[in-house]
Amino acid sequence: MTDKIVLSSDGGFYRVAAPELLVVLLHRYNATPVTMQQIAEVVRDEYPQSDIFAPCLPVTVSSFSSPDELARSIAGDISSLPSIGAYSGIIFIGHSLGAVLARKVWALAHGATPEATVDPERRPLPWAGKVERILLLAAVSRGWTVSSALKPLDRLLWTIGTAWGNFCRHVLGKEPLIFGFRRGAPFLTTTRLQCLAIKEAGVRLPITVQLIGTDDDFIAPTDNLDLATGENFYYMEVTGASHAAIADLPTDGDDHSARSRFRLALTANETKLKESSASADDVFDGYDAIDDFDETLLPTIRDEVKRVVFVIHGIRDRGFWTRRIARKVKSVAGRGVCRSVTSTYGFFPMGPFLLPWVRRSKVEWLLDQYVTARSLYPDASFSYIGHSNGTYLLAKALEICPAIRFEDGAIFCGSMVRRDFEWSKYIPRQIGRMLNYVATNDWVVAIFPYGLERMRLQDVGGAGHLGFLDPDSANIRFASGEHSAALAPDKWEEMAQFILNGKDPEHRVHGVSPNPANLARGEWSRLIWGLLVVGVLGIGAAMLALLWWRAGWRGPVITLGFCLYVYIVKVVLTRA
């Protein structure tokens, strides 16, 4: 009989005399290894000859560490353990954020690259093939979001924390570690794609069991479940367990108690796990699948699909047109071999578009959609048609996540990307080729994004107004009309031919020239911006001045007028 194990808050390596098994415990966010104490006790009870490695992870609220570096550090520490070559098997047990790290470390051990490929020349770590089981407790597998699953106070605190994190990222240039685990974050996206790549490479997959608390007060089922890369997982519910308390294993109760369910997940063979796990249909009930209008049932892998086209809308647009263009592309390709992703991130007004943290959240939304599509259509090549903010989403996604690829190329319409975007960095490694339609009278881009580009503010610009500068991009001059000119039905055939067959349209449209008035708007865009800002603030300041200096009956009238003015400004910024 072994002595009772006691985990230290500083972490440690807990050895036995003749170890046969290594168990790695990775704790949750803003906690220490002590929270895994009862997990360690059950592990030693079931496997007396097990060494336990429980590092203290730098995952506090104030942590700005890189999650990639943290995962590499854990993998390196495991490789340095004195008995690493003697173990017959390895088990990873991760809680919440630690569960994601467990999968990441496993992927790195098998040679996964930042591009989410498996390099045949990069040999797996010697212990990689010994990983036989991974247990995920209340895992943020798909990434956390501030959602209605949180209690009101927790939701308020996380909202404040997110605002602080956005300030750190966009003003101080420091990325909070927890942002790496947000839904669609580059770290999480890459981790999920790496797991897919390892599976496709034919590597033997470990038994993976995910324990889900029925009373999880932190993450919603859609955050907890990752059906895209976890289709082979065994999902087991733990009755009455909250997000933190799922790691607390009180004395054995019935078969659905936390301790009983954990023992089962830790020791049962696949036949027993299959009998005790939730069915795929039950799991799917709590999951919001990819927004593909052809996909209404449980997502299944479609090996016969060879082409996938994303058609993504922009600002001030509900995106109804995306399905019409997608239908055209599929008709050219053949409906049986081509699928579309026409997902929507909701109506996106100009006001929120000007906020970099809101734009970033939409980029992460796109990355999440990408992972799901890659999992459903593993043999397909991808392409992209974007309009307005939809062009910004892809450009930013390429910058922050080297694991995504659109082999068949991209088409930009009404682009809000900076003109100096360096396409040569991404063609052909991440994107096969690109086509950019320049409109003759796109005043939206000429004034707003292009004005910000000329003032060197933010990372948007006027590619839809004047075109890209990089010679690796192809600018079509010109689409006759305003911001949505390139979406005209007479362009759909050439778009389909470009992404499906690589056929370039004429880069210079004869008889069409830019509107001189719109060129002037672009030249004067900085002044227009200044007048708009001064005008909006000036009117408000004048009304407040009147309120300050005037008394009597005029006070309430001016107050009411000021409130109405603020409301009108809000409506214009958030709904126009």
Residues of the chain scoring pLDDT < 50: 287-296
Containing H/E element for 444? helix 443-447
Please choose, from the candidates 87, 56, 85, the residue with its C-alpha nearest in 3D space to the C-alpha of residue 73. Answer: 56
Cβ neighbour number for residue 176 with a 10 Å cutoff: 21
Under 8 Å CB-to-CB from 173, ≥6 apart: which residues?
Answer: none
Place of tokens 């992404």: 499
User: Strand (E) positions, 480-569?
Assistant: none
Q: Give the integer Cα–Cα distance in Å for 466 and 336.
A: 38
As separate numbers, helices (DSSP H) first and strands (DSSP E) second, the chain gives 20, 13
Q: Is the dihedral of CA 312, 318, 324, 325 positive or negative?
A: negative
In the structure encoding, which two tokens stand for residue 106, read together?
Answer: 């496993």
What pLDDT score was predicted for residue 289?
Answer: 46
DSSP state of 524: T
Cβ neighbour number for residue 567 with a 10 Å cutoff: 10
User: Strand (E) positions, 324-473?
Assistant: 338-341, 381-387, 410-413, 434-439
Under 8 Å CB-to-CB from 135, ≥6 apart: which residues?
Answer: 91, 92, 93, 94, 208, 209, 210, 211, 262, 265, 266
What pLDDT score was predicted for residue 221?
Answer: 67
In the structure encoding, which two tokens stand for residue 181, read together?
Answer: 């685990």
DSSP state of 431: B
What pLDDT score was predicted for residue 327?
Answer: 93
What pLDDT score was predicted for residue 294?
Answer: 42
Q: Which amino acid is at 209?
A: V
* Torsion region of 117: left, alpha or beta (phi above 0 gives left; psi -120 to 50 gives alpha): beta
What pLDDT score was predicted for residue 47?
Answer: 96
Beta-sheet strand order (sheet of 50-55): 11-14, 50-55, 21-26, 89-95, 131-137, 207-213, 234-238
In the structure encoding, which two tokens stand for residue 455, read together?
Answer: 């003032």
Please choose, from the candidates 72, 5, 64, the residue with its C-alpha nearest in 3D space to the C-alpha of residue 34. Answer: 5
370-418 pLDDT tens trace: 999 999 999 999 999 999 999 999 999 999 999 999 999 999 999 999 9
Q: Find the angle CA(105)-CA(13)-CA(203) to the nearest 5 degrees.
A: 25
What pLDDT score was predicted for residue 121?
Answer: 77
326-357 burial code (b ≥16 CB/10 A, e <16): bbbbbebbeeeebbbbbbebeebebbbbbebe
The answer to whether 487 touches 321, Cβ cutoff 8 Å, is: yes
What pLDDT score was predicted for residue 290?
Answer: 46
